[in-house]
Every structure is written in C-alpha cells, then in structure tokens.
Amino acid sequence: MPEVWRAWDSIVAGRTIVDKEGLRRAVQAGKAAAVGCGGLRYTQFIHDFENIPRGTAVFEEGVIYGYPSIGRLLALEKGLARQFAAPFWMEEKIDGFNVRLCRVQGKTIALTRGGYVCPFTTDRIADLIDTAVFEREPDLVLCAEVAGPENPYSESFPPFIAGDVRLFVFDMLRRNSPRFLGGQEKQELIRRFGLPAVDIFGRFEPKDLPTIRAILKRLDAEGREGAVFKEDSPRQRRTKYVTVSANLSDIRSSIYTLMDLAPDYFTHRVLRTALTADELGTEHPAELKQRLGAAFLDGLMGAIRQQNGEGRISHRFRCRFRNPDNAGELIHYLKRAAGHVQVVQRSLRQDGDFWVLEFERIYPSLNGVLNDWLTGRTVFD
Amino acid sequence: MPEVWRAWDSIVAGRTIVDKEGLRRAVQAGKAAAVGCGGLRYTQFIHDFENIPRGTAVFEEGVIYGYPSIGRLLALEKGLARQFAAPFWMEEKIDGFNVRLCRVQGKTIALTRGGYVCPFTTDRIADLIDTAVFEREPDLVLCAEVAGPENPYSESFPPFIAGDVRLFVFDMLRRNSPRFLGGQEKQELIRRFGLPAVDIFGRFEPKDLPTIRAILKRLDAEGREGAVFKEDSPRQRRTKYVTVSANLSDIRSSIYTLMDLAPDYFTHRVLRTALTADELGTEHPAELKQRLGAAFLDGLMGAIRQQNGEGRISHRFRCRFRNPDNAGELIHYLKRAAGHVQVVQRSLRQDGDFWVLEFERIYPSLNGVLNDWLTGRTVFD
C-alpha cells in the first residue's frame, strides 16, 4: 500500500489529530509555518507531516484538514473489485481547482489545496454559493472544485461552462476532523441549503461495471474529466478514473511548460490515454490518434508562430473580481507560485459590477529553446 | 560553442593525436581500457577524453579514431548561414547504425560507434562490400551506416530496403588521423572501388535553400531520415537535419522503452516534429497529427494487447549470419549493452548459406507498469 494511503486510512480512522505538541514538532521540522494570508494569521502545513496532509490550516477556531491525494485507477473491472470492500458512490470529477470553503473569524474564506487563502475564490464566494449555510453550520467545511474559462490557474475547464466560473461541492468536513461526512449526510446538506454540487451518478458495486462504464463513456464523449468513487463505509476509501478527454486536455493545456514539467508528465499521460481508450473503446482509432497528435501539436505550432511573430510565448488569462484589491493579491500569489513561468499583469478595469483582470503567463524555457533553435544553433543530443 | 564541437574542431585541426603518454593517462582516468573483442586485443576509449572521441580504438597497427557527434539543425535558413563559412556537400542520412570498417591484423572488421567489434557487421562484411578496397588501401577506414529490416539493433530502418541489411559509406578516415578525407577524394575512392555509398545530392551554399528544402521534402515524403551537410573546407564542419518522418519513427520505435529513456527523449522529438513540419510544410496538418498520435499509440495499444494476452511486452528481431558463432557473440554483446531491456535468444537455424538468428527484446519497465495498472492498483501522482 503506498505511503499516502496508509496516511489517509490513518487520518480517516481519526487516529491522528493535530495537537499542540504535534504542531510544534511540525514547525520545528519545517513542515508547517505561521503565515499571514488574506488578512488572517494561521499555521499552514506546507508538506505532509506524520499523517497530517499538506494544506492543513490551523486557526484559533480549529483545524481545517487538508484534502488528501486520491489514487487513480487505470483498469475499472479489476480496480473496483480490488479497491472496494463495500458499495461506493460514483460522482463527477470536475476539471477545476480544489478549494475548501469555511468560516473563520467571522469571514467565509476559500483555502487552496496547499492551504493558502485563494484571493480569487474568496473574493467571489458570494457569487458562487449561498453563504447562509455557514450561519447555520459554522463548523462546516465544503470541499469544492471551482472551474470555468475565467479561472486564473489553468487553461483547461469543463466544456459545459460557457463563461466565468462555477463552484461544485463534492465533499464535506467539519472543523477539527479529518473525516468526511458520509454520502447520505452530505447529500442531505446539499439539498437543505441548495448547494451547487457535482453530479452524483449513484451508489454502485463492482458488478455494476456496465453502467459505470457507460457513464464514463458519456462523460468522455462530452469532454468531461471523469469520476471519483467513494466507498460508503467507515474507511471512506476514494479512487478516481479520468477519461481519454481529460488526459488529452492535460497534454494540451501543459504543452507550453513542456521543458519544465516532471520528466514523466507527458509519457504517463500518453500511456494513460492508451489504457483509457482501450478500456472505454470510445471512438475510431484514427480519430483518437489525430486528437492525441493535436493535443501536442496545436500548442507547439502556435508557440512557433508566436516566437516567429512577437518573439514571446505566452498565454493570456482573464478573471473577474468584486474587489480590485483582491486582483492585486492574486497576481502577488501567482508570481510567488509561478516557478519557471513569468506572470505579468496586463490590465484591470471596471466592467459593471466587476473588475476584470487580464494577465499573461510567459514561458521562458520553451521560449529559450525555440529561440535557440529557430536562430540556427546546432543541438547535440 | 558546445564542448563537443570544440573537441571536434581541435581533432580535425590535427592538434590532438593519441600518443603513448595520452593513452596512459586515459587508462588511468578510466576513460580507456584494454579489451579483448572479436578475437582482437586493443585499447578502447569508453568515454571522450582530452579531445579524443569515445569509440576510438588503438591497435598495434595504429589508431582508428571515433566518429564524432554531429550537431542538429532545427531551422535551415538561419542555421546553414550560421554554421557554414564555405560551400558544403549535402548527403543522405541513413536510418541505421554507425560502423567503421578497417583492416586490422589481416582481418577486415567493423567497429561500432562505441568502439566494440560488431559481431553482426563483421560477420557480414563480405556480403555488404567488396573488401578488395582494403588490399589496395590497407590504412583506409570506411565510416558507414548499416541499415535494413534485419538489423539487430533497431526496429526502424529505411523504407526503401526490402530485406536483410545494406551498407552505405558516408565518410572516410585513414589510420592514425582524426581528419576525414575531403569530399572529392572520398567520391573518387567510392567510384574507383565501386563502394556502396549514401546519395550525394550536391555541393551547395546557403543561397541554395529552395533546392535543399525541396530535397528534404522529397526525403520526408519517402519516409527517409534526412541529410548531413559537410563543409568543403579544412575545418570540415558537419551538421545534420532530420525529417518529420524520422522524428516520428524515433518515437514509434522507442515507445516500448517509454519508462527507461532520458526524460526529454519524447518531448524533444515532439517539439522537433512541430519545428520540422513548420519548416518543410510537407502535408495537411490533420494528417501530421494523426501520424504523431499513431507513433505513440500503435505501439502502446499493441503493448496493452500483449500484456493482456501473453503477459509479456516484447519485440522480435531477426538477422542472418555466415558463421553461427558470431550469432552467439552478438547475443552476448546485446545482453551486456541491454540496460533495462532483456535479450532472449529464441532460435538459430540454418537457411541455405545463412544462419538465421531470432531473438526477443523484452521490456520489463513497461511490462511492470502495465501489469500494475491493468491488475487494478491505484496510482498516486
């Protein structure tokens, strides 16, 4: 069993909670640190530490546990049988970014997967969800995906979202507990407060494979990301399965960072594409090959045109805010997290009730390589 | 200027030759070693050392210099203008393996790029070339490519070779000299001895770009690898340009070692495909995308079928020998050089004047990953 699953099983069994002594050791080991973020002071777990997941945030009101990694299945029949000892819920996996919404110091905030206050989502919370839920359930933590064409983090988004962003609740925690609420309780709260949530396809067993596969084939045909399976049992085991479309979308939206990503980023996605296409058998092989080739080449041919034209390979992002100060916070946050990529603000202008931020991500590594090659350097390999 | 070019310029300028003192230092530094190979004792440069290229072999009769790395161009117009100060020969680059043929201790042998005696090529020399050339020119070294469907090293080969292998001379050295013979002298020797050689397309200057590009487009359309440009001047600078077809062929023939290759093996070839397609503009984009997708997926879908069927991902090779002992030598050599790949002999049987060897390359890394995934393990990434 991989390390992370052991950690996970141990967390959901409630055997580990953050106490003062543990916190002190985590800070000493450099795994957690005091931060000031979004006007709040708290302790953030920068790395996993003794079964406490990265992204865990410790406020005076209590601990908001991090959202743990979910393992990926690449073969449905054997995988579902092997992973699950009880019936499981099948829910849609949305191509967006993971946040945890909670009420802290009288304010509703969105924490990123890493445990930062997300300046974008926090600014837009009231547009995305009726925050009245937190009046009635102040210790509730909503785990949700934010997705759409105007998200500040990723070029990819679900095709059924035409503009701006939307939020989809998919799990719930309570303060000071690493255990998720059970499927029934979660669905009851979603209904009671009219929360926007991911599609829940049903409660299945491994013998329901034909139904499960048919749902995934439909999601794939619609260009949607995939599904998460959640065991309806005390151990709450989770696993995910993503479509061919999602693998191709990953390649397409990451091609400008070709030179910066982990070595196996693209090769794993190509291999997954082959396995998923074999599993779902969704289309004519010639069409699949063309889509894979396009996922690689559309962006790269565009990069060559950009390099020959403007001399700079970049992608433009656009997103909306209620408070223009939060746009500045976002740019600050993105610059810090950008790694090899440069983030440059282009404009911030008022448009009705919103402030529209436009910024560019510039990709110096691909830029540099293409510049060398296009100006006639020789390459030794 | 990259290290290797500096070494090369220095070698061709004749400033560095292997002497006894240099040899002693190379052996002490672990860069060269005494070997017994193909029934011969000699000193082999395992690595580059003080401007002496890897693959250099020191016999009692003298030094056979290694064939140096040739840099790759990715933009023809700017590249040719930047790299060449004088007219250059344009010759076909053949998709095969590099050997140096020479006469040592009364025997004609073929050295691999790394400086081993190639058991396969040495066995077949008399089929590939009229060795009478070495009676008249005993100190000549023929640099050649051996290629064809029945080669023991690579799955890829030029489409115009229907069976077995052929040999193509593309450069000449003399014993004890790292300098190539000039283009005219080489062509004269090729004519005089009727040697099989690569196509020589002509002697060009950068202003001949339209002709050069037209030749490369034709080679690409015919599925051929590309061209080497050789400056017709004392410094003998060389550079190469490979076609879209060759990049795709590299991906296709290496896909079973997806997990073992250098991190940027595939990403570089995808990027080169985009650049070369942009340069040569050879075909409809949809067709190019489908070919790139097929280069990745045909092999992987085959691997999944093999894994689900025989449970073992492998590729079968076949090649012919005159002397069956050399088949054993080849298997021994391949096993030593195989790295992560397993080499297993399947059969060796007489067929007319030949002995036909069949062996398999088995790919444990891809095998292991696919086995894990197909049996339902979860993957954390």
Q: Which residues from A are below 8 Å from B254, CB to CB? A: none
Residue A6 pLDDT > 80, yes or no? no
Q: Share the mean pLDDT of chain B.
A: 92
Interchain pair A289, B288: CB under 8 A: no
Nearest Cβ partner of A288 from B71, B77, B293?
A: B293
Q: Do B373 and A270 touch (CB under 8 A)?
A: no
Nearest CA in chain B to A237: B378
- Would you state the pLDDT for residue B4? 37
pLDDT at res. A17: 62
d(CA B308, nearest CA chain A) in Å: 11
Of B284, B256, B48, B71, the residue nearest A378 (C-alpha) = B71
Apex CA A125: angle with CA A119 and CA A131, to 5°?
Answer: 140
Query: What DSSP designation does B197 have?
Result: B
Q: Which amino acid is at A78?
A: K
| Chain A residue numbers touching B263 (CB-CB < 8 A) | 263-264
Greater pLDDT, A51 or B351? B351
With CB atoms and an 8 Å threshold, state whether A271 touches B81: no
User: Per the CB < 8 Å rule, is A258 touching B277?
Assistant: no
Residue written as token pair 């837009």: A124
Query: B78-117 b/e with 16+ CB inside 10 Å = b?
Result: bbbebbbeeebbbbbbbbbbbbbbbbbeeebbbbbbbbbb
The conformation of residue B114, written as its DSSP 8-state character, comes to: T
CB-CB under 8 Å, A376 with B83: yes
Rounded to 10 degrees, the C-alpha dihedral A205/A208/A213/A219 comes to -70
Instruction: Look at phi and psi of residue B340 and say left if phi exceeds 0, alpha if psi is from -120 to 50, else beta.
Output: alpha
Residues in A touching B303 (Cβ below 8 Å): 274
Nearest CA in chain B to A381: B71
Q: Between helices B265-280 and A285-308, what is the axis angle to 10°?
A: 70
Minimum mean pLDDT range among A336-345, B163-172, B243-252: A336-345
Tell me which of B48, B367, B378 to substitute to probe the interface with A (most A C-beta atoms closer than 10 Å). B378
> What is the C-alpha separation between B153 and A101, in angstroms, rounded?
58
Mean per-residue pLDDT, A28-48? 93
Q: Per-residue confidence at B61, pLDDT binned at 50, 70, 90?
A: confident
Return left, alpha or beta for B339; rule: phi > 0 is left, psi -120 to 50 is alpha, else beta: left
Q: Are the Cβ atoms of A274 and B300 closer than 8 angstroms? A: yes
Which amino acid appears at position A56 of this protein? T
Higher pLDDT, A29 or A311: A29
Residue A211 has pLDDT above 60, yes or no: yes
- Distance from the A362 Cα atom to the nearest Cα atom in chain B, whole angstroms: 18
Q: Which of B81, B267, B378 sits opposite A73 (nearest CB)?
A: B378
Residues A146, A165 contacting (CB under 8 angstroms): yes
CA distance B234 to chain A (A): 20
The mean pLDDT of B153-162, rounded to a whole number, is 95
Region A59-86: mean pLDDT is 95
Q: Pick A290's closest partner by Cβ from B5, B82, B290.
A: B290
Residue A28 corresponds to which tokens in the numbers above? 């000493």
Residue A300 confidence (pLDDT) above 90: yes
Q: Which of A8, A271, A283 to mutate to test the interface with B (most CBs of B within 10 A)?
A: A271
Q: What is the pLDDT of residue B17?
A: 62
What is the bridge-based pairing of β-strands B71-73 and B238-242?
parallel
Average the pLDDT over B173-192 and give the result. 95
Question: pLDDT higher for A1 or B184?
Answer: B184
Task: Flag if A297 and B278 touch (Cβ within 8 Å).
Answer: no
> How far apart, in whole angstroms, are the C-alpha atoms of residue A2 and residue A333?
32
- Across the interface, of A285, A291, A376, the residue whose CB is closest to B79 is A376
- CA B306 to chain A, closest CA, distance in angstroms equals 13
B358 compared with B364, residue with greater pLDDT: B358
How many residues appear in chain B? 381
- The residues with which B63 forms a beta bridge, in sequence order, are B58
Residue A339 is predicted with a pLDDT of 83
The secondary structure of residue A96, as a DSSP letter, is: S
Please report, rounded to a whole number, the percentage of residues in chain B having pLDDT higher than 90: 82
pLDDT at B14 over 80: no
Q: What mean pLDDT, rounded, does chain A reach?
A: 92
What is the pLDDT, as a whole number, of residue A330?
A: 97
Cross-chain residue pair B378–A286, CB shorter than 8 Å: no
Q: Do B79 and B131 touch, CB atoms closer than 8 A? A: no
Please give, one letter per residue, the 3-state secondary structure of A131-150. CHHHHHCCCEEEEEEEECCC
Q: Which two tokens stand for residue A87?
A: 């019936």
Q: How many residues does chain A have?
A: 381
> Among candidates A118, A120, A117, A142, which has minimal Cα distance to A132?
A142
Binned at pLDDT 50, 70 and 90, residue A13 comes out as very low
pLDDT confidence of residue A8:
41
Q: Which residue, A86, A210, A188, is CA-closest to A140?
A: A188
- A5 to B373: CB separation less than 8 angstroms, yes or no: no
Nearest to B71 among A71, A300, A378 (CB): A378
In contact, A237 and A69? CB cutoff 8 Å: no
Identify which of B74, B267, B370 has the shortest CB distance to residue A266.
Answer: B267
Assigned token pair, B325: 């002992």
Please name the member of A72, A278, A373 whose beta carbon is closest to the beta carbon of B275.
A373
Residue, of B312 and A270, whose pLDDT is higher = A270
Q: What are phi and psi of A327, to 5 degrees?
A: -65, -45
The structure's pTM equals 0.90
Q: Contact B375/A82, CB-based, under 8 Å?
A: yes
pLDDT in tens, A93-144: 999 999 999 999 999 999 999 999 999 999 999 999 999 999 999 999 999 9
| A263 contacts on B by Cβ (under 8 Å) | 263-264
User: Could you say which of A74, A268, A304 has the minimum Cβ distance to residue B275?
Assistant: A304
Q: What percent of chain A has pLDDT over 90?
A: 81
* Nearest CB partner across the interface for A271, out of B268, B290, B300: B300
Spatial distance between the Cα atoms of B4 and A146, rounded to a whole number of angstroms = 50
Position A1 pLDDT exceeds 90: no
Local confidence band at B261 (pLDDT 50, 70, 90 cut-offs): confident
CA distance A249 to chain B (A): 14
Facing A293 at nearest CB: one of B289, B375, B381: B289
Q: Is the separation of the CB atoms in B57 and B111 below 8 Å?
A: yes
Find the closest chain A residue to B254 by CA distance: A267
Q: Which two tokens stand for residue A108?
A: 């509703």
Widest CA span in chain A = 66
* B297·A273 Cβ contact <8 A: yes
Q: How far B129 CA lies from chain A's nearest CA (Å)?
A: 30
Residue pairs spanning A and B at CB distance below 8 A: 176
Q: In angstroms, what separates the C-alpha of B275 from chain A's closest C-alpha?
A: 7
Query: Per DSSP, what are the bridge partners of residue A26?
Result: none
Rounded CA-CA distance B151/B157 in Å is: 8
pLDDT at B11 over 90: no
For residue B376, give the chain A residue with the closest CA. Answer: A79
Closest-CA residue of chain A to B4: A380
Residue of B nearest to A377 (CA): B79
Which of A64-73, A114-123, B16-25, B64-73 comes out lowest in average pLDDT?
Answer: B16-25
Mean pLDDT of A159-167: 97
Of A75-84, A148-157, B117-126, B304-313, the least confident: B304-313
CA distance B293 to chain A (A): 4
Alpha-carbon gap, residue A113 to A3, rounded angstroms:
19
Return the structure tokens found at A210: 């034909």
Give the residue carrying structure tokens 């396009």: A294
Mean pLDDT of B180-203: 97
SS3 A42: strand
Query: By the 8 A CB rule, do B157 and B253 touch?
Result: no
Q: CA A203, CA B33: separation in Å to the nearest integer?
A: 67
Chain B residues in contact with A4 (beta carbon < 8 A): 380
C-beta of residue B172 within 8 angstroms of C-beta of residue B180:
yes
User: Is pLDDT of A212 > 90?
Assistant: yes
According to DSSP, residue B77 is labeled H
Closest chain A residue to B241 measured between Cα atoms? Answer: A378
Lowest mean pLDDT among A256-270, B124-138, B176-190: A256-270
Q: How confident is the model at residue A287 (pLDDT cuts 50, 70, 90)?
A: very high
| Contact (Cβ atoms closer than 8 angstroms) between residue A71 and residue A129 | no
Name the helix (H) or strand (E) containing B67: none
